[in-house]
Amino acid sequence: MNRLKIVLLAFFAFSITGCLEEFNNIELKEDGSGTFVSTVDMSTLIEMAEAMGNGEDIDKEVMDTTIQMQALAEADTTQSEEMKELLKNGELHLMMNTEEKIFKFTTTIPFSNAQQLQLLLSGAVSINATEGVFKNILGGKSDEPPTGVEQAPAMPDLNSVYDVKVENGKISRKVNMERYNALKQNPEVSQMQQLAATGMSMTSSIVFKLPAPAKKVDNTLLQVSDDKLTVGIRYNMLEILDGPEKFEYTIEY
């Protein structure tokens, strides 16, 4: 196994749950259906691999593949039947080019109604399904890490502290204090706070393309386009640890 694969597997849990940089784009139609597109950019891991190589070049690898999520969803025993039905219509697109320092994957999932969008915005998309794809692509044969590779601890999903509600003409996200307090007890959180103290960021952005102009937004961090059909927010997820209320929002349209 080349050095890049070792680094990717060692940092996998950190990357997938404490996304280094994620972009979420939601396009809503008048009937409540739409498309949820989430891109996670892990290109920084290639730079980490180079740094660990003391200046040596890492093996050149190029990958551009699209995987249908139906089989992965059906095999995932951790998800409800409702979620499996939603995930099986999605696809996962992986791009990796070590020479150009590109490593990212995009999940595209169509949804039919507000309830399905609420599931997606609540962070319920299966991490296990995505992990299965990476194990197959990177040559993993089991749940055990390769010989000589230390298993990285799974970092908590910071956005899981929010309750998301989607209804006709309204999208809201509010802090669930019970989940937030439980998150603070997670032993991995102290490591994340140390990362925040060094200036490191885990950027997340959410952009909604609305079927009608926004009538009201209650958070000054939300950016609204001139035609009021696009509303978005971009923030450092590590800041959630010290003040989750800062990233609550309500959008009415």
Give the pLDDT confidence of 181-193 residue by residue, as tens digits.
Answer: 999 998 888 888 8
Q: What is the pLDDT of residues 112-144, one digit of tens each?
A: 999 999 999 987 554 544 555 555 555 544 445
Tokens found for residue 37: 């597109």
Q: Is the pLDDT of residue 60 over 90?
A: no
Domain range enclosing 118: 1-155
Q: What is the pLDDT of residues 195-224, one digit of tens each?
A: 778 777 889 999 999 999 999 999 999 999
pLDDT at 161: 94
Chain centroid offset of residue 7 CA: 19
**Amino acid letter at 204?**
S
CB 95, CB 102: distance < 8 Å: yes
Evaluate whether residue 111 is within a structural domain: yes
* 69 and 186 both lie in a single domain: no
* 122 and 55 both lie in a single domain: yes
* 44 and 141 both lie in a single domain: yes
Evaluate whether residue 160 is within a structural domain: yes
* 176 and 250 both lie in a single domain: yes
Evaluate whether residue 137 is within a structural domain: yes
* 44 and 120 both lie in a single domain: yes
Separation between Cα atoms, residue 189 and residue 186, nearest integer Å = 6
Q: Is the pLDDT of residue 18 over 70?
A: no
* 36 and 82 both lie in a single domain: yes
* 193 and 92 both lie in a single domain: no
Separation between Cα atoms, residue 203 and residue 10, nearest integer Å = 21
CB 72, CB 91: distance < 8 Å: no
Separation between Cα atoms, residue 245 and residue 147, nearest integer Å = 43
* 144 and 196 both lie in a single domain: no
Q: Which of 112, 118, 103 is nearest to 12 (CA)?
A: 103
* 144 and 217 both lie in a single domain: no
Phi, psi of 28 (to 5 degrees): -105, 140
* 78 and 52 both lie in a single domain: yes
Evaluate whether residue 252 is within a structural domain: yes
CB 126, CB 87: distance < 8 Å: yes
> Phi-psi category of 101—alpha, beta or left, where left has phi over 0 and alpha has psi -120 to 50?
left
Least confident interval from 38-52, 122-136, 221-235? 122-136
How many structural domains is the chain composed of?
2
The whole model's pTM is what?
Answer: 0.82
Evaluate whether residue 208 is within a structural domain: no
Evaluate whether residue 98 is within a structural domain: yes
Q: Which of 238, 236, 233, 226 is nearest to 251 (CA)?
A: 233
* 92 and 175 both lie in a single domain: no
Q: Which of 136, 155, 174 is the last residue of a domain?
A: 155
CA distances for 119 relative to 28, 190, 210, angstroms:
15, 28, 18
pLDDT at 148: 45
Q: Please state, as a whole number, how many other Cβ atoms lie within 10 Å of the Cβ of residue 201.
A: 14
* 143 and 161 both lie in a single domain: no
Evaluate whether residue 114 is within a structural domain: yes
